[in-house]
Structure 1
Amino acid sequence: MAIFSSNTSRILNALLVLCFVWLLSACTAKSEVEVLKMAHSLPTDHPVHEAIMYMGERLRVLSDGKMDLQVYPGGQLGGERELIELLQIGSLAMTKVSSSPMEGFVPEMKVFSMPYVFRDSEHYWRVLDSELGKELLLSGEKVRLRGLGYYDAGSRSFYTVKKPIYKPEDLKGLKIRVQKSQTSLQMVRALGGAGTPISWGELYTALDQGVVDGAENNPPSFYTSGHYEVAKYYTLNEHTFVPDIVLISTYVWNNLTPQQQEWVQQAMDESVVFERKAWADATAHALAEVEKAGVKIIRPDNSLFAEKVKAMHEAAKGTPAHDLMQAFGKL
């Protein structure tokens, strides 16, 4: 009989790796340098990873070498949920996660998983850069998670293996991989498909072997994952704009001096500017490359999809997400 769940085992494995790293650092690093451990699940050629590395460079410069960021990419220390939990117990300093799994920890974050909340990308950034957007970043402090800033993760759209999607009815009977988010499952159901949560690392095989008929994500992720090799239809219906969020453990944040906190926040703010430009470039490059590889890019009438999910908005009345949607609409 298994003593630990697979989820617990992954967390324990990550803790063992971190303990080893800390012991090694204690032996080799100068004590006056504050080293923050940062982990995420993306590959090193992803624009978000590049932005995180840039943040580390800026942190070293701003602190005159007194602070450093040690980055563990590619899911070395676990998936997004495991990394969030490591932050909560103070065993990891920072991580980058999609806002979708955050809804399991901070109910307000559910608003980003709701489809067709934003009118367009301009409205999306106006909201995130507003005081309301900044307040939302700090809403996780009650569960020991402080948001430092938003990275652009573009808009999420459907891609499929055998059948193109031109309208919501085309999703009928299709199994679509989604993140572990109840809102995402509801959205696919409302559009006529069947949502199937599968880990990101297992998705390529699931698409290739027909376990699922498609998935949904942004253009750079569709490209860097190699999913375009098996999914030859990409429908830019842009159902959600789901930002990436850089988090720091409140245990770690509260133990930093005010000056150190200022350096970390400034490095984050500068990396946001870097990442948004890198993301725009990566999106254009990804779409060009997948089209060159034979993917059919479809630009549907998105209002048809938005109409199908209106009931979700109505059903959310009385929740923090609905209140936020109302507030977003006024910006």
Structure 2
Amino acid sequence: MKQNRWKKYFFGSASLLLLLTVVGCQEIISDTKVIKLGHGLDTSHPVHKAMVYMKERLHEKSGGSMSIDIYPNQQLGSERESLELLQIGSLGMTKVSTGVLENFVPKLRVFGLPFLFRDREHRFSALEGEIGEALLDDGLDKRLKGLTFYDAGSRSFYTKTPIETPEDLQGLKLRVMESNTAINMVKQLGGSPTPISWGELYTALQQGIVDGAENNLPSFYLSRHYEVCKYYLVDEHTALPDILLISTLIWDELSEQERKWLKEAARESSEFEKVIWREAELEALEAIQEAGVTVTYPDKDKFREKVTAMYDEFSEDPEMKKLIDAIQSTK
């Protein structure tokens, strides 16, 4: 039974049939379980480096009986496509933003609430405690099991024209993720939200399809969006963590020991990522300023006032209100 599942897993993606045939043959010969992990980030991104670290740790912990093959740069599809592949077992693991995952796991909409966390320390306390642990398992009925959260910093706006206040966003076409919460936020701030795939955003900015976007500093820098957008507003409106997921179709066929190895390796990689993420933020800030980007620090209260209606809307759902209160009361 397990052998059939793993065969199906290795050969599930038609677009990579030849490659997977080779990998599959290697697995049968070596008797090593290889989990295929696809994501949309560049190989220089801190989260990708954390995944490489996880692969190394898993290999060490399992004595070589388990490994991970990593496919970056949307080689296996967009974030949404990767989630769908996980659900049918054609992909083993992926990393997505919780903003995209909210379309599959509605409770994760909470991370899209602007100014939810007081600061970096508060965010980690919530994610690494009982609240975060419960949210990792909230997608089990969708065949999606969370293993750990990765720090994705805070998201801010960047545009082609100067911005300092919410009024400066009026009428601007701003790229957002495929997230209803992100769409609503931009509307509340007066902008025109435009969902576009991350891989298509540079061209969309160049061609004027959108006037700007919102993301964290390392992503703004590594994507080279600073070549088109010369204004970065550090309003830090949201802090959506990334989440590392495994298909339950694969998870359920791992032994208890294999699950323990994988979970430990994932958690260790998130600790590793927190350190290099902070370094990447500082490096990105310096680099974009050297490239001529104007970085401004606005009065956040002006932005916070514009989105209070989102909290009222969320609070109409008793479960969401309970979750919001739990997060905000976390020390």
CA contact (8 A) 1:109 1:321 kept: no
Residue identity matched to 1:143 = K
2:144 alignment counterpart: 145
CA contact (8 A) 2:12 2:89 kept: no
Residue identity matched to 1:126 = S
In angstroms, what is the RMSD of aligned CA positions? 1.3
1:169 alignment counterpart: 167
Do structure 1's residue 277 and structure 2's residue 237 form an aligned pair?
no
Question: For 2:259 and 2:173, how far apart are their aligned partners in 1?
Answer: 45
1:70 alignment counterpart: 69
Do structure 1's residue 53 and structure 2's residue 22 form an aligned pair?
no
2:99 alignment counterpart: 100
Alignment counterpart, residue 302 of structure 1, candidates 300, 307, 313: 300
Q: Deviations over 1:22-65 (max 9, x none)?
A: 32123233342111111000011111111001100110011111
Q: What displacement does 1:304 show?
A: 1.1
Question: For 2:70 and 2:260, how far apart are their aligned partners in 1?
Answer: 20
Question: For 1:144 and 1:318, how far apart are their aligned partners in 2?
Answer: 28
CA contact (8 A) 2:98 2:111 kept: yes
- The structure-2 alpha-carbon separation of the partners of 1:99 and 1:317, relative to structure 1 and needing over 3 Å to count, comes to same
1:128 alignment counterpart: 127
SS of the residue corresponding to residue 96 of structure 1 reads strand
What residue ranges of structure 2 are gaps of 5+ in the alignment? 1-10
TM-score, normalised to structure 1's length? Answer: 0.94
2:6 alignment counterpart: none
The total of aligned residue pairs comes to 318
Alignment counterpart, residue 211 of structure 1, candidates 209, 234, 258: 209
Alignment counterpart, residue 313 of structure 2, candidates 312, 315, 328: 315
Q: What displacement does 1:14 show?
A: 8.2
Question: For 1:170 and 1:64, how far apart are their aligned partners in 2?
Answer: 56
SS of the residue corresponding to residue 289 of structure 1 reads helix
CA contact (8 A) 1:111 1:322 kept: no
Percent identical across equivalent pairs? 51
Question: For 2:35 and 2:147, how far apart are their aligned partners in 1?
Answer: 14
1:6 alignment counterpart: none
Question: For 1:261 and 1:17, how far apart are their aligned partners in 2?
Answer: 29
Residue identity matched to 2:212 = G
CA contact (8 A) 1:14 1:77 kept: no
Question: For 2:16 and 2:92, how far apart are their aligned partners in 1?
Answer: 11
1:329 alignment counterpart: 328
Superposed counterparts of 1:230-269, under 5 Å: 230-269=228-267
Question: For 1:66 and 1:19, how far apart are their aligned partners in 2?
Answer: 24
Q: Deviations over 1:148-197 (max 9, x none)?
A: 00001000000001x22111111111111100111111100101111011
Question: For 1:202 and 1:189, how far apart are their aligned partners in 2?
Answer: 22
Question: For 2:16 and 2:256, how far apart are their aligned partners in 1?
Answer: 26
Do structure 1's residue 221 and structure 2's residue 219 form an aligned pair?
yes
What residue ranges of structure 1 are gaps of 5+ in the alignment? 1-12
Question: For 1:327 and 1:107, how far apart are their aligned partners in 2?
Answer: 17
Residue identity matched to 2:42 = P
Question: For 1:196 and 1:243, how far apart are their aligned partners in 2?
Answer: 21
CA contact (8 A) 1:175 1:195 kept: yes
